[in-house]
Amino acid sequence: MEKLPKIALPFIIVAIVLVIILSKSAVTIGSGEAGVLFKTFGEGVVVDEPPMGEGFHIVAPWNKVYIYEVRQQELFEKMKVLSSNGLEIQIDASAWYEPVYSDLGNLHQSLGQNYLQRVIQPAIRSAARSVVGRYTPEQLYSSKRDAIQDEIFAETKKILDKQYVQLNEVLVRDVTLPNTIKEAIERKLRQEQESLEYEFRLVTASKEAEKVIIEAKGKAESNRILSASLTDKILQDKGIEATVKLSESPNSKVIVIGSGDSGLPIILGNQ
């Protein structure tokens, strides 16, 4: 019994060493992640092989695995930039990005795990300064937000395409102007709206006046044509037609033919 611990001691040491080796060799890569293998006694970062995928892996204990998240991630940035006339504008923007999976080894070798701070943030800030500097505060406040969003995306993507990073989208969430500039722009927009409304009323009134004039001209022309067509002969014929109809009426009356003006009949009666 006294010799048993001495005999078991080498086995215990071997077991401990195996546990240490196994713990150093076993690597578990989670969902949405990938691993880059670094060979200590080899060529260093492995760039000519696909990254290590999700799941359990065994590697040599003297090598190391660097784990990267390969899902889409979001960067939220608050940036103060200058407009074309030198006024300070605050831009709140989000960038959706992810590392290029097949180039994960190159990304690790050239930039490392803090690639967000090394290239993505400087790229989007530089693009935002460049793009916003082309516009006035009025343009940024009113109609150019979608335009600057697209331009910031295009310029940032141009930079990141060479850095093993894929940019999916840039969203400009808010453009904040100095209060004095914002109030001045809002006053100007209100005045422009009121001016447009006044012009609309003028156009409407002008069209109504034109309509009345056209109707009056049409009525005058109709009366002129009617007056020109009513000769004395026509009036006498109309009078005779009316007399005939009245004579056929059962009402009591006396009709004197040819005693009125222009030879028209005179109608006398007790009703």
Q: What is the pLDDT of residue 60?
A: 84
Q: Convert the pLDDT of each residue in 127-150 to its tens digit.
A: 999 998 888 877 777 667 788 889
- Which of 17, 43, 69 is where one domain is finished? 69
Residue 245 falls inside a structural domain: yes
CATH code where residue 138 lies? 3.30.479.30
Q: What whole-number distance in Å separates Cα of residue 95 and Cα of residue 2?
A: 69
Task: Quote the CA–CA distance of 255 and 264 in Å, as a whole number.
Answer: 11
Would you say residue 223 lies in a domain? no
Query: What is the domain count for the chain?
Result: 3
**Same domain, yes or no: 81 and 155:** yes
The answer to whether residues 263 and 236 touch, using CB atoms and an 8 Å cutoff, is yes
Indicate whether 117 belongs to any domain: yes
Highest mean pLDDT: which range of 82-86, 166-170, 206-210, 211-215 = 166-170
Asked if residue 86 is part of any domain, the answer here is yes
How much is the pLDDT for 214? 84
Q: In angstroms, rounded to a whole number, what is the distance separating the alpha carbons of residues 231 and 239?
A: 12
Q: Give pLDDT, residue 128.
A: 92
Model confidence at 228: pLDDT above 70: no
The verdict on residue 97 lying in a domain is yes
Nearest to 85 by CA among 174, 194, 190, 184: 184
Assess if residue 177 is contained within a domain.
yes
Q: Judge whether residue 271 has pLDDT over 50.
A: no
pTM exceeds 0.75 for this model: no
- Predicted pLDDT of residue 212: 79
Specify the residue for token string 């019994």. Answer: 1
Range of the domain at 96: 73-182
257 in any annotated domain: yes
Region of poorest pLDDT, from 16-30, 89-103, 189-203, 206-220: 189-203
